[in-house]
Chain A
């Protein structure tokens, strides 16, 4: 234990210090601030107001809209990113120059900032001059041209499509690693037993990749709940708050100078994210297979 243990403990302390200063203390402060009326108008004079902020939050219609939108966004993007990522991984998992090129192309959107993606898609979704509607009109399907970001029926789905386009490649990379870790003798044995391609995927590939699915699902859920740049850069929660999500709702409260209320919003959203992530983690962990 002696010298080796002492050396490793000392190296840990700077990281612990950073973690405490930038994570623990702000979170504890946030808990306290959530029970105050701290705002921009009385920046040096905050008063404890008990559960007023939480009461105000739970009767705010926009809060429930943002929660509903966020859950919709999480569900749609988690399912789509994982399904599309898995399919892409199956298509490009075999080693070849072409597949290497394809993997790179599919992964490239991950490297682009969310705000930049938003600006690009603002142009693509433009109802008058955007790529999508211009193409639809050019092939005689002008009736299908919509206000993708200005019509509240389509706005949230349009934003989800951006997220799916950007991050499916990330999941694909994780799935490729998972696919390559499965021993080939399982597939050989299945072939000998006459299993079809689909049966191999269902009974060998998917069960043995549960750990990869766990990772991608949890990442997708967390990033889905944290969605901000895509909404802020396109609709900023509009039209009529129909695309408000948790992060933009919190940001809006902060921008209004209501710091205590924003802290309460942050606490509630943190609890929601933690609850959903924990539930999924427990569910998927039970499905993992050791081999």
Chain B
């Protein structure tokens, strides 16, 4: 009997110990470690800087917030510095829950559906199908100052309330160019079409410099060539409506295949770096900063990266159009609404603190920290103060007086809605695959296959 009782108790103890080990004691720890890598544990506590800040800091001192973000944002120094500044002002600590970029959508939707969403979400508004129903309505003073270009992307698509606070700059994509290289080659700007661009590349190559730098090791950089040039192609012949309702396939549209072919041609025409398959974005920045390349397709965030890494060499680099179009009439300046957004979880236990944190992030003090490190065009107007914008943004503004401005093809507003947002179809990988040997026709077909699968999963009509 004694042994029998011992064995029962031992078995029950084993089961109990197992169950206990699977439960978390601290909810914060579970949120911080499941499915994600915790990158940073908060910052120092409050040293309030103003009387109002002192009040907020006293109110929330000792509290903490968890912030969910993708690894691309988690590695951005300007973002981290700004977040930490806001935390310092409020006297709170932050726990970052960073997930790989390609898993962010999965993680945020899964957390949203199970009620485990972090207190604050830092996301790219270019992602479609975020769990908008989980985001709280925001009502800070800044709401009425959001620019028209960015406004629609901050709204809940179901009820039109403001659920996201733009944080990063409204961006320009284009070709970074080295001023000295172009001057030596006798190339003048703006270059208005693809034929003129090839001519410019030839002139640059004759001086012994790589005309166009490609960093195809990364999957997000080659696509900038098309992100900043593809929109006007789609604006023709009601293509957007036809593509988004599956009435036409992109591989059957000659204009689409042609512009992809123009990009593909760089892998074989001798105007790019020999090591394009193994080159990284950092190598591209170095090449353009030091005059080892004439052009390099970038986002305007590269201004801050070059400035940080190469100091005064940034003065010798500008930003211009990316003319992959054959017809000069298709020329445009790519000006995008702000992509980086902050949101608060509606059913979070710390909703008040999360909202206060977001309001603090959109304050002059915190925004100045961010824009001093990563200059750009603010998504807010008439805030009563100026933020550092870069010479690149100024250049693109001047070009915008000559050419129309559109967003990138995926996030551009077509008749007021970003209808192509659901059809990204791993566009970055499709463009990268052309540099790995695929024909433009095959790459466009793969793009259609990928976006139609996604559209079918989203139960989009016509797919």
Identify the A interface with B (CB < 8 A): 3, 6-7, 10-11, 13-14, 17-18, 37, 39-44, 126-128, 147, 150, 152, 238-240, 254-258
Contact = CB atoms under 8 A, between A and B. Distances in A.
A247 to B, nearest CB: 15
Interface in B85-134: 102-103, 105-106, 109-110, 113, 129
A128 B278 contact: yes
Given A239-B277, A257-B457, 11 more contacts: A11-B10, A14-B14, A40-B106, A41-B129, A43-B113, A44-B113, A127-B277, A128-B278, A150-B217, A152-B437, A240-B436
B109 A257 contact: yes
A255 B217 CA distance: 20
B7 A7 contact: yes
Chain B, interface SS category: helix
B25 interface: no
A147 B110 CA distance: 39
A127 B275 contact: yes
B105 A257 contact: yes
B459 interface: yes
9 contacts: A10-B8, A13-B11, A14-B18, A40-B105, A41-B457, A42-B457, A256-B453, A257-B105, A258-B453
Contact of B110 (A42, A43, A258): A43
Nearest to A14: B14
B109 A43 contact: yes
B3 A7 contact: yes
Contacts, number: 77
B105 A126 contact: no
B162 interface: no
B4 interface: yes
B457 A258 contact: yes
B433 interface: yes
The range of chain B's interface size is 20 to 34
Given A239-B437, A240-B437, A42 B7 contact: no
B458 interface: yes
B438 interface: yes
Contacts of B14: 14
Which residue, A3, A6, A41, A126, has most C-beta atoms of chain B within 10 A?
A: A41
B278 A150 contact: yes
Nearest to A3: B3
Contact of A41 (B103, B433, B438, B458): B458
A3 B2 CA distance: 11
B421 interface: no
B457 A11 contact: no
A14 B15 contact: yes
Contacts of A14: 11, 14-15, 18
A14 B16 CA distance: 10
B454 interface: yes
Contacts of A11: 7, 10-11
B436 A238 contact: yes
B437 A128 contact: no
B11 A10 contact: yes
Interface string B11-26: 1001100100000000
Contact of A256 (B4, B11, B18, B454): B454
Contacts of A40: 105-106, 109-110, 129
Q: Which 6 A-B pairs have the closest CB atoms?
A: A239-B436, A14-B14, A10-B7, A39-B457, A150-B277, A240-B436
